[in-house]
Amino acid sequence: MKRTFPILAILTAILLSYAAYQGLVVAPTDQLQGDVYRIIYYHVPSAWTAFLFFIINFVSSVQYLVRGSSRSDRLANWIVTGIALAVCIGAYVVPLPRGLYPSSIVTTGIVAAGLYFLIRKLFSREKVDALALVSAEVGVVFCTVVLVTGPLWARPVWGIWWAPGDIRLTSTLVLWLIYVSYLMLRRFSSSSQTAVLAAALAIFGALDVPLVYFSIWFFRTQHPQPVIGGGGSIDPAMLRVLLINWLAFLCFAALVCWSRYRLEIVHREVEETQALEALLEPRSSR
């Protein structure tokens, strides 16, 4: 484990450097927006990465709540399976907005269900709570990048830093505020019910993720249509660089999450040891 981390860190640094070179030098310049368009190679992958880690936080929070009893755990497993099947069937039955393809919806449902059962298999109830915390931290970092790069891109293109009332921009800011509140609750609350309250807040906050993602399909917004589907288009060379950058961001985020998770587990073990020593100390002094 100690040898694996430095190797992965070096590989991730190389991949990030290669992705930056591809985005800043190799990728073609957009004919309409010019070089400012290159912000897309940081803005979009950061958004996708933030969404992924918020989903991990949501799944982990749900599991922390339901795995308190075996009955609720089994019920949740059946519910997740049922929802995945309903999504797969509904994708071909319910009319979808232009640009949303049934195959994409089906893939999302299957991946989400697979993620749920994978986390359930790999993490105990105590450790899944730690995973929820660190995934929220990583998600907030990348969501912050989205909120910073968005206005930097919007100013030269739209002529304004922010479009008041835009559903995509506003819902993204609300998402960031919810998860910052989640982290503040985890940091400053000393109640024995902190983990439960935080899990409930995380589940509530995760409801904003699909609103952010699907807002440009269902509402009139200043934000452009997605570059992949939805009436949008992107040069194949640009798409390749975009996916390379997303891969680099995912590797970096996973590495940070892994490191932070290990630190959180050690921190909790130290706290448990100190609490146990505090309970035994009065008896030994007698």
**What does the pLDDT look like over 124-145, one tens digit per residue?**
888 999 999 999 999 999 999 9
pLDDT at 143: 93
Distance separating the N- and C-terminal Cα atoms of the chain: 43
pLDDT at 103: 79
DSSP 1: -
Helix orientation angle between 40-66 and 194-206, rounded to the nearest 10 degrees: 130
CA distance 135 to 258: 9
pLDDT at 54: 93
Which among 31, 233, 29, 40 is positioned nearest to 154, based on CA atoms?
40
pLDDT at 98: 66
30 by DSSP, 3-state: which? strand
CA distance 23 to 215: 27
* Residues paired with residue 142 on neighbouring β-strands, in sequence order: none
> Within 10 Å of residue 93's Cβ, how many Cβ atoms?
8
CA distance 252 to 91: 33
pLDDT at 221: 61
Q: CA dist 129 to 6, 56, 134, 137, Å?
A: 26, 11, 9, 13
Q: Are 267 and 126 in contact (CB under 8 A)?
A: no
pLDDT at 171: 82
Regions of the chain with pLDDT less than 50? 230-231
The DSSP result for 163-185, as a single string, is -TT-HHHHHHHHHHHHHHHHHHH
pLDDT at 216: 63
pLDDT at 220: 63
Q: Are 38 and 24 in contact (CB under 8 A)?
A: yes
